[in-house]
Chains A and B, each alone.
Chain A
Amino acid sequence: MLLCVMIATRSGTVLLERYHGLPPDERLQWRSFLLKLTADNLKTARDDEQFVASHKAVFVVYAAVGDVCVFCVGKDEYDELALVEVLTGITGAIKDVCKRAPSERLFLDKYGKICLCLDEIVVQGRLEQTDKDRVRKLTRLKPLAEA
């Protein structure tokens, strides 16, 4: 289960979050945990440099791209390496929508489209699409297997 996908700025401002299978009180705790993780190491992190953390049997993988950083939290089959797939899918889609590594402003400008992309990548706590071409087609309601 993909428990959480969160997008925040490098300075710790949450921009977008999706939770699955987490009660509301745990969401807050996870959010704090994730933001605390970034406090030390994300300010100087390179783009797309992947970080890993864990808590009990839950895994966290996160990376920064441009001004924003993307967190993925999962358990069971979504271990650290599966989360890398999710993370790559999300960062790829963000870069695709924003045309480059996004600034905070650019991210907010494309907020709606990014929500649609995320809706294609993670559905009900499961990874759906990873290929950015497919994501692009699905967010535009285009046929998937068009030549």
Chain B
Amino acid sequence: MATLGGSQGGSGGGGRESVSLMDLISADPVAPSNEGSGKKPPGVTNIQLPTETSSPARVLSPPTMKTGLGQRRKKPLTYSQLARLLADLAASPDLKNAQKQLLVQVFPKLAVYSSVDPSLVPALLQLHELADDRHVMRYVYYYLARLLAESGAHGGTPAGGVPTPNWDALATLNVAGAVTRADVVPQIVDRLIAEAANTDPAAHPRRIAAVKTLSFVPVTSEEMLGKLYMIVFKILDKVADAGKLRRKKGIFGRQTVDKESATRSSLQYAALSTLRRLPLDPDNPAFLHRAVQGIACADPVGVRHALAMVSELAPRDPFSVAMAVAKLSLAGGSLQEVLQIQDVLARVYLARLCYILSSADALDEKPDLKSHFRTILYQLLLDPSERVCFEAIDCILGKVDGSEGTEIRARGWAHLITAILRFPEPAPVPNKDGASSKDGVAAPAKEGIPPKIPKDRQAPRPRRPQPLIKLVMRRLESALRNHSRPVLHGAVRVVQEMGKSRAAAYAVGGLGIDEDAHADSTVDSVAGDSADADEGFRSKVSPLPSSISTGGKESVSSMLSSLMEAVRITVACECVYVRAAVIKAMIWMLAPYESVEELKSIIAGELSDPAWPASLLNDIVLTLHARFKATPEMAVILLDISRLFATKVPGKIDSDVLQLLWKTCLLGCGPEGKHTALEAVTVVLDLPPPPPASMNGFTRTSTTDPKSALALQRLIQAAVWFLGENANYAAAEYAWESNTPPGAGLLMLDSDKMVAAANSRNPTLAGALTRLQRCAFSGSWEVRLVAAQALMTLAIRSGEPYRIQIYDFMHALAKGGAQERVSDFAASNGEDQGASGTGLSSVISPMLKVLDELYRCQDQLIKDMRSHDNRKEEWTDDELKKLFETHERLLDLVSLFCFVPRSKYLPLGPTSLYLLNIYRNRHRIDAHMGSNDPAVATGISDLLDPTIVAGGLSELQPLYAQPEAAAKPATPDEDEREFNEYHDIVWNIPAQETVNEFLGGGGTEAPEADSSDEEVVAARPSVSYEEIFSKGLIESDEEDDRSSGGSSPESSGAFSGRNFGSNRYASMFAPSTAARTSWDKPAASFRETKTDSPTAETSGVQWSQEEEPSSFNEEPSQNDDEDLPDSDTFSGTALYDFVAGGDDEISITAGEELEIEYEVGGWYFVKKKEAGSDGKLSGLVPVSYVSAF
């Protein structure tokens, strides 16, 4: 990528661009024509080159030419040469020639460099004093301003360019040694202050330049700020009452501007411009006074600055500002004059000011004033510039800075469809006598509407009141027919804002807005000032008469349909950014009762266009999220749309953002919509899996983009995780609320009965379970792993018969061969999962152990209770203690897999509660026991983002630690809160931030500029998040496209953590060789906890010791053999050729007989009878390459 000579970021290599800029430094430029010297130097030929790009060859041999000074230069001038030349020329006795040379040789070339060296300042100040050439002086001001700006930016230069060399090399320029910025800035400031005080009318252009340069002075102290204010106010004191430009008749009857008034208005502009760049000083009445005075300035840019300052002051003190502006406005009509001013931004600030003042509560006692400002705001809807008109619409809709509340937006919508513009009495037109546009006062409109229209508008005949909505619709429809892309984009954005305000109005509800009312009828029927209607609206919007017969008149809804038709046509624009804005606008304008089919078909059509960048698509998903927040009842519709994104462009959608949308919709769509919400997620699991990468012996070849396939896989992982995490919530099935006795599940070991019972009890959960079971077989290894974890979560959180169903399934999974029971192989992605079926044995075995332990302890409890009942004995304290310790131990174990509310969760079943409470009451034990949460105690929490830990887990701690909470049993509310807090923590915070940022309109974050195919992975906003939690995964993603298919060593090894939150608990089961070091810590701390825990007795320790090797898979040891009944050596056949990629791997040939020793992380350790091409007899091969018997 070409850059500007590596000016930024130190990429100072010589790209061709640097050659171009160096060319500027090296080649002699065109001699000044007639500007500087007034005559051409002898021998100068017209060396103006044709328009072709300067090729490197041309750059290397620049055309020979002579400058006015007769110098020939072909070698580049170095920076120090330029600096030396500047110093020499500034001190030259022949100032005239020196100035010419400066203009031609030095100043343009210095401009190429990124910053200005302070050692140049003495020469610049010398020139400032002596030079008489205006061009030279302008350059002097330019460089002084740059130097001051760089001083304030602490080295960060606003300019790009060729990096300026190290100052030390230039130290010799100054006899006294190196010159620092700190030395020169006061000198410059003193000189400029003196010049700014120069009242000589002839020198006023220099004075203006000096004042402007002073605004770059770094404001490091109050003193400096005070000085600057003083300079500005001093100028304004003298010129603020300059008023209009006076004109006089010159010779030959031509009108000329009175010089003195012109000078005063220029100075006023310069002072206002500088004042705008200084910090606002709301406490200083002079500041407001001068700013308001500036509205009457003759200079249009001065008016703009004045209005900008006043509109910034207005929200702080609307009353004072309104009073100050009213004096001008009511007396001389200055605000009305601004309507005619040429400067677009001035009118934009006028719209803001009028909106702020017309909606300020502080002015409630001044209805006339508010009405006056409101009328001006409405008049701006007729402004010839789209920018101004759109700003006025935004203001009316209640949008100024994007942080407005729903109430304001709702009021804005009601305002738009009910308010009426009543034209004021025609004001005297300033400078009626044909003042030229150059003075900027009576400038003609230059765009949009022909310039004659404003004249018509000022015609004395009274104009009929106009409903705002009609004006706005007319204007928007006309803008949507415009061919300019920025105008289209702007218009569609305004429609978005309309949609937002409309949604807010629906959300607030009960406002009595009738969109079927006829807009025209309001003009006739609503009596009185529109201000009255507005005042009345605060409590209740005055209902529009909808029953009036209005033949041929348009209703609001019909106008909206017409507008939306125009918006829909805009989707044909070739600019993808405009199309994105159109889709967002349509999402916002979609009403809950409207059909979504058309929008869906448009989106589906758009998504098939590969030109869409991922960032834009994610923006639209965020829009869906925002729309849901505005109108929660649209959850189902929005999920329906999000399904399109998930299915059509899964590779470009950020799974974090999509998950957040799912979650928000799931939480917000109410009990009846939960099933639909979950269905929207599961549809992702039904996506056609990416075809496997082509393998030897297979005729199929992959045509899918591998990065898209990888992204799709990640999306599926996200969906699986989401199901595991939320299925219980969606199905309202919790173990701690289950009424089924713990032993009941064991009675349903017949799988058919179990499934039937599960289906009849809770179809939502049963459906989720079935999908997860299928994923545990048919997905890639990563998906299977997440599915197993999700199933475990479900098993722990659900009551019977789901737990036993999952337990049974997991057993089958671990043993292998159960595939046909649940999954049709044809539905898989074609990958061979190997003999054990899934390659998940090592992951599942600890899960099974925990479930085994749960069931064993439950059995034991039942036995104990029966024996106590039979013997009619009370439970002794020791027995209760043992029971309590078992309870705690089991809680610790299940907490390692997923979150459960410790105060409510009863691993031993509901019958244990009574006994546990007896023990707790005797020993005054806190039911919450937060400090024993293994997720915290084992140090897993250390792996969390510190901010999340600080903001999330630490917040949970006081909850556990509160003595009041400990004294009483947890109420359902507390548990719900606890669970919600957990959700807040687990749910990906970066995505939430993305949403909030999106909603807040934040956007300074620079875009990712990767190429489109890199965007899939690299351009995710959650990169930093992933860096923290699953760095290994990213590295694998970036370097290995093969992992999309399945069990490559990289993909299995890199799966050290998930980005879906579950990694924080369940990630201890990641069998990683690549990420082994990163897991040392949790492994060690886990062991520590187990041994250190006072409650962990023999069984706990034993469990831990047994578990370590298989859990962390550090060595595929004999423990696996003990644990797994099917872990004996068995034989198999190689399905495909495999070439060893590492020392521990072995090459095999298709059809070769193998002896499989054991499986580890998706790999088989196999032995061969004869050494192959690599000379090895044993080593690792991927499970998918081997068919095990």
Where the two chains meet, the residues of A that have a C-beta atom closer than 8 Å to any C-beta of B are 3, 6, 8-9, 11-33, 35-36, 50-59, 61, 66-67, 75-77, 79-85, 101-106, 108-109, 111-113, 115-116, 119, 123-124, 126-131, 133-134, 138-147
Contact = CB atoms under 8 A, between A and B. Distances in A.
Interface of B: 1-4, 7-9, 15-17, 20-21, 23-24, 29-30, 48-54, 58, 107-109, 111-112, 134-135, 137-139, 142, 145, 149, 156, 158-161, 204-206, 208-209, 212, 215-216, 245, 250, 254-257, 259, 262-263, 265-266, 269, 273, 276-277, 298-299, 301, 342-345, 348, 385-387, 390, 401-402, 438-439, 484-490, 493, 575, 577-578, 580-581, 615, 619, 997-998, 1001-1009, 1011
Contacts of A27: 8-9, 160, 1006
Contact of B439 (A19, A128, A145): A145
A85 B344 contact: yes
A77 B348 contact: yes
A115 B141 CA distance: 12
B1003 A57 contact: yes
Contacts of B4: 13-17, 31
A129 to B, nearest CB: 6
A21 B1005 CA distance: 11
Contacts of A25: 9, 1006
Contact of A108 (B23, B138, B208, B216): B23
A13 B16 contact: yes
Contacts of B1005: 26, 56
A38 to B, nearest CB: 11
Contacts of A13: 2, 4, 15-17, 20
A58 B142 CA distance: 29
A105 B49 contact: yes
Contacts of A58: 1003-1004
Contact of A143 (B7, B142, B266, B489): B266
A67 B485 CA distance: 21
- Interface of chain A: mostly helix, strand, loop or mixed: mixed
B1001 A80 contact: no
Contacts of B48: 106
Contacts of B385: 81
A144 B299 contact: yes
Given A24-B9, A147-B250, A15 B17 contact: yes
Contacts of A104: 20, 53-54
- Which 7 residue pairs spanning A and B have beta carbons closest together? A112-B108, A56-B1003, A57-B1003, A32-B1009, A29-B1006, A17-B160, A145-B262
Given A79-B493, A112-B107, 10 more contacts: A3-B1004, A27-B9, A56-B1002, A61-B486, A82-B387, A103-B54, A108-B23, A139-B138, A141-B134, A144-B205
A63 to B, nearest CB: 10
A84 B486 contact: yes
Given A13-B2, A31-B8, A140-B138, A80 B486 contact: yes
Nearest to B256: A147
A124 B278 CA distance: 11
Nearest to A84: B486
Contacts of B49: 103, 105-106
B273 A128 contact: yes
Given A81-B386, A143-B263, A146-B262, A36 B1009 contact: yes
Contact of A22 (B108, B401, B1004): B1004
Given A80-B489, A128-B301, A129-B301, A145 B257 contact: yes
A36 B344 CA distance: 31
A71 to B, nearest CB: 12
Given A13-B20, A105-B54, A124-B277, A53 B1006 contact: no
Nearest to B581: A54
B103 to A, nearest CB: 8
Nearest to B1011: A36
A116 B142 contact: yes
Contact of B29 (A50, A52, A109, A145): A109
Given A123-B277, A124-B277, A133-B438, A79 B490 contact: yes
B1001 to A, nearest CB: 4
Nearest to B270: A144
A13 B160 CA distance: 13
From B109, B216, B401, B438, residue with most partner A Cβ within 10 Å: B438
Nearest to B114: A17
A18 B160 contact: yes
A140 B1 CA distance: 36
A42 to B, nearest CB: 13
Contacts of B619: 56
A9 B262 CA distance: 40
A57 B1002 contact: yes
A73 B126 CA distance: 37
Contacts of A28: 8-9, 1006
A123 B2 contact: no
A124 B215 contact: yes
B345 A80 contact: no
A55 B209 contact: no
Contacts of A21: 1004
A65 B493 CA distance: 27
A83 B344 CA distance: 11
Given A21-B1004, A26-B1004, A51 B615 contact: no
Contacts of A79: 387, 490, 493
Contacts of B262: 143-146
A101 B184 CA distance: 40
28 contacts: A13-B4, A17-B161, A19-B159, A25-B9, A33-B1009, A52-B577, A53-B575, A54-B489, A55-B615, A56-B998, A56-B1001, A57-B1003, A59-B489, A66-B51, A81-B386, A81-B390, A82-B344, A82-B348, A84-B484, A104-B53, A108-B20, A108-B21, A111-B24, A116-B139, A124-B215, A140-B138, A142-B205, A147-B254
B485 A52 contact: yes
A141 B209 contact: yes
A145 B265 contact: yes
B45 to A, nearest CB: 14
A21 B108 CA distance: 26
Nearest to A114: B111
Contacts of A83: 486
A65 to B, nearest CB: 12
Contact of B111 (A8, A31, A111): A111
